Amino acid sequence: MDQFVLNWIFIGASFALYIGIAIWARAGSTSEFYAAGRGVHPVVNGMATGADWMSAASFISMAGLIAFTGYDNSTFLMGWTGGYVLLALMLAPYLRKFGKFTVSEFIGDRFYSPTARMVAVICLIVASTTYVIGQMTGVGVAFGRFLEVDNTTGLLIGACVVFAYAVFGGMKGVTYTQVAQYCVLIVAYTIPAIFISLQLTGNPIPAIGLFGDHAASGEPLLAKLDQIVTELGFAEYTAHHADTLNMVLFTLSLMIGTAGLPHVIMRFFTVPTVSSARWSAGWTLVFIALLYLTAPAVGAMARLNISELMWPNGADSEPVSVEMMETDEKYAWMATWQKTGLLGWEDKNGDGKIAYFNENNAEKVAAMEAAGLGSENELTNFNRDILVLANPEIANLPGWVIALVAAGGLAAALSTAAGLLLAISSAVSHDLLKGQLTPNMSEAGELMSARIAMAVAIAVATYLGLNPPGFAAQTVALAFGLAAASIFPALMMGIFSKRINNKGAVAGMLVGLIVTLVYIFLHKGWFFIPGTNSFDDSDPLLLSIKSTSFGAVGALLNFATAYFVSNATEEPPQEIQDLVESVRVPRGAGAAAADH
Amino acid sequence: MSDKPESNAYWSANIRIVTWCLVIWAVVSFGFGILLRPLISGIKVGGSDLGFWFAQQGSILVFLAIIFFYAWRMNKLDAEHGVDEQ
């Protein structure tokens, strides 16, 4: 059967499943819209949170970034899992005990200040919108490929689908749909990885195969990979090349950001008890780890496969010929991806061969010239975001595996986009409008404004997604930096310190958010508009700290500001200190109540 | 809520557990995975070294262990101090 048709059968069937579930579990009241009536088991909640969490960045983008950089991008793996430790130990149980619907409600109550709540809402909207931009980048890549159209058209179609999908139901529809999406995405991610691991190492578990022996050569897989990439003039895969300070700060930003992202924290409001909030964080990480332990294997094995595909007789021999790329079935995937504009090659020196090597490595360039293969790399464009989607084709796997990965990639992007849009819409309608501006709004009015907020958020994200500030995972990393600098410190101090008062929290959040946002805009362009940046991440403003790593610095500024301002002003009132005491012990956690 | 001294003892026990868990969290990721990698590079793991394994696999496995340990330990602590949910 034609691959195009097969893709659409798999994508269509998975969508029919999600929509069916969404209709079956449609949200009836506002309480169900936001928090699914709190009747969700920790394992189910963990699975849904996993789907919510693992977005286009994890599924589509991350392995590609690891593949082309190697060890240095392990930061994504540690950062995006390590945050769950912070969440489980420092936030989830306490926020569940507090028992309200949204993150900003906690901040508003704990810091007894509508201003604090407003500032939290703004922080949340800024971080979530940036996050949605990253998702739209991934959606564009996936739809572009599977509709066989260019990236921009794919993005616009994707935006319509995401919107229709997110407006359909609230959290309840989303929770059960996300369980289905988790199943689709994890199967889609692991099946090709298992096939490829078997082909290359004979071991069916990719995470073990990664550290096993390469079947064809008998050498360890990683040693073989190091050898081939260095032969092509690239940096050694397993070695540490990146700036250490930057690596540490980047990992820390992702960790703190994970624990500060509203759509993830909201999940822990939907479990029945404090104790199940603790277990739920663990189950979430189990389901996430299944993908994250596989991702580095996917990256390394794909890099090896691509290098061998471009140099079929070894790196010291002849590169692949143009004729072979046009006729051999093994290279058919390259032509289909070329249509999206995300993969490109050109026989620059007209020798009928496509030479892939590091053209920034003078020694390698000299060697290539001496061999008469030209001085320029002829695999001119390989977008990192296509690697996972192209992976089963690169490894020459059967058509149904390719179609399955298509469905999985879309599941990942859609589930997260929907969760984020829900967080944005509840912030606008529940916290901003109902909580502050128009407290007498009816339930129907609240639902309506929630949907309008979703539409606006998706329009902004789509517009910016056309010219994203980076690959999907890099854009998402910026969102984490913003969440790290603004939300997490306020939540943590609100629980672990009784001394932090309203003025300290507001000043801390504002300093953290504004300094981080300005630092990002200085490097990525104001409001992410290309060309308006004054610095570049290759030569950043402050030491070696890239804008993607700045969230950790922003968080530190937030902590310090809140501490000094609070100590210079009056203590919080007694009832707030009692509130903190009560949040710290699980006893008495009832069902949560909304603010009306 | 229980009386003051009891809840203080509960809270400081909790802080102690959280602190130790976070020390391990930092050692396996920032430590073994990044900063201390050169020190343990003599230990080879399938084509690379222990630091590489911690950065790509080990830290995640330890994170899981930490969270489940914490959930189990805290449920026990809740019961010991009589602050568990019924």
Q: What is the pLDDT of residues A483-539, one digit of tens each?
A: 999 899 999 999 998 888 888 999 999 999 999 988 988 887 777 777 777 777 777
Residue A26 is predicted with a pLDDT of 61
CATH superfamily of A3-305+393-584: Sodium/glucose cotransporter (1.20.1730.10)
Q: Which of A74, A225, A282 shows the shortest C-beta gap to B33?
A: A74
Q: Test B67 with A88 for CB contact under 8 angstroms.
A: yes
Q: Which of A203, A102, A79 is nearest to A446 (CA)?
A: A102
C-alpha distance from residue A396 to each of A51, A310, A389 (Å): 28, 14, 13
Q: d(Cα A41, Cα A280) in Å, to the nearest integer?
A: 8
Residue A594 is predicted with a pLDDT of 43
pLDDT per position as a tens digit, A356-383: 888 888 888 888 888 877 788 888 888 8
Q: Hey, where are the domains in chain A? A: 3-305+393-584, 315-392
Residue of A nearest to B4 (CA): A581
Q: d(Cα A18, Cα A520) in Å, to the nearest integer?
A: 36
Q: d(Cα A249, Cα A247) in Å, to the nearest integer?
A: 6
- Contact residues, chain B, for A213 at CB < 8 Å: 46
Question: Which of A49, A80, A273, A278 would best serve as a mutation to test chain B binding (most B beta carbons within 10 A)?
Answer: A278
Q: What is residue A320's three-state secondary structure?
A: strand
> Is residue A313 exposed (0-12), middle (13-18) or buried (19+ Cβ within 10 Å)?
exposed
Q: Test B70 with A240 for CB contact under 8 angstroms.
A: no
CA A69 from centre of chain: 18
C-alpha distance from residue A107 to each of A10, A95, A488, A495, A523 (Å): 43, 10, 11, 10, 30
Q: d(Cα A254, Cα A83) in Å, to the nearest integer?
A: 7
Q: Test B29 with A251 for CB contact under 8 angstroms.
A: yes
- Interface A–B counts its CB contacts (< 8 A) at 150
Phi, psi angles (nearest 5°) of residue A12: -60, -45
Is the Cβ of B35 closer than 8 Å to some Cβ of chain A?
Answer: yes
Q: Between residues A347 and B2, which one has the greater pLDDT?
A: A347
Contact between A483 and A127 under an 8 Å Cβ cutoff? The reply is: yes
Closest-CA distance, A186 to chain B, in angstroms, reads 17
What are the tokens at A141?
């890549």
Residue ranges in A466-525 assigned as alpha helix (H): 472-496, 502-524
What are the tokens at B75?
């449920």
Q: Which of B49, B66, B83 shows the shortest C-beta gap to A85?
A: B66
Is the Cβ of B7 closer than 8 Å to some Cβ of chain A?
Answer: yes
Residue A28 is predicted with a pLDDT of 52
Q: What's the count of helices (H) and strands (E) in chain A, helices before strands? A: 26, 4
Contact between A36 and A432 under an 8 Å Cβ cutoff? The reply is: no
Q: Test A211 with B21 for CB contact under 8 angstroms.
A: no
Label residues A384-423 b or e (16+ Cβ within 10 Å = b).
bbbbbbbbbbbbebebbbbbbbbbbbbbbbbbbbbbbbbb
Contacts 24+ apart (CB under 8 A), A524-527: A524/A469, A524/A470, A524/A478, A525/A469, A527/A464
DSSP string, A128-160: HHHHHHHHHHHHHHHHHHHTT--HHHHHHHHHH
Contact between A136 and A129 under an 8 Å Cβ cutoff? The reply is: no
Residue A591 is predicted with a pLDDT of 53
Residue A60 is predicted with a pLDDT of 83
Contact between A133 and A475 under an 8 Å Cβ cutoff? The reply is: yes
In the numeric block, the tokens 């609240």 are attached to A446
Residue A596 is predicted with a pLDDT of 37
Q: d(Cα A466, Cα A530) in Å, to the nearest integer?
A: 11
Is the Cβ of B69 closer than 8 Å to some Cβ of chain A?
Answer: no
Is the Cβ of B60 closer than 8 Å to some Cβ of chain A?
Answer: yes
Q: B48 pairs with which residues across the strands?
A: B45
HSE of A502 in the Cβ direction (CA atoms, 13 Å)?
Answer: 13
Question: Which of B15, B67, B84 would best serve as a mutation to test chain A binding (most A beta carbons within 10 A)?
Answer: B67
**Across chain A, which distance is largest between two alpha carbons, in Å?**
80
Q: Test A211 with B53 for CB contact under 8 angstroms.
A: yes
Closest-CA distance, A389 to chain B, in angstroms, reads 21
Q: Which of A212, A251, A581 shows the shortest C-beta gap to B30?
A: A251
Residue A595 is predicted with a pLDDT of 41
Q: Test B64 with A282 for CB contact under 8 angstroms.
A: yes
Closest-CA distance, B86 to chain A, in angstroms, reads 8
Q: Test B74 with A74 for CB contact under 8 angstroms.
A: no
Q: Which of A93, A223, A293 shows the shortest C-beta gap to B60?
A: A293
* Amino acid identity for residue A536 in this structure: D
Residue numbers in chain A where pLDDT is lower than 50: 33-34, 36-37, 170-171, 593-596
- Contact residues, chain B, for A552 at CB < 8 Å: none
- Contact residues, chain A, for B1 at CB < 8 Å: 581-582, 585, 587-588
Q: A343 pairs with which residues across the strands?
A: A382
* Amino acid identity for residue A474 in this structure: Q
Residue of A nearest to B6 (CA): A585
Residue ranges in A395-442 assigned as alpha helix (H): 399-426
Residue B4 is predicted with a pLDDT of 53
Nearest 10 degrees: Cα torsion A534, A539, A542, A548: 90
Q: d(Cα A78, Cα B64) in Å, to the nearest integer?
A: 12
Query: In this structure, are strands B44-45 and A381-382 parallel, antiparallel, or unpaired?
Result: unpaired
Closest-CA distance, B31 to chain A, in angstroms, reads 10
Q: Which of A409, A404, A387, A295 is nearest to A334 (CA)?
A: A387
What ipTM score was computed for the predicted complex, to two decimals?
0.92
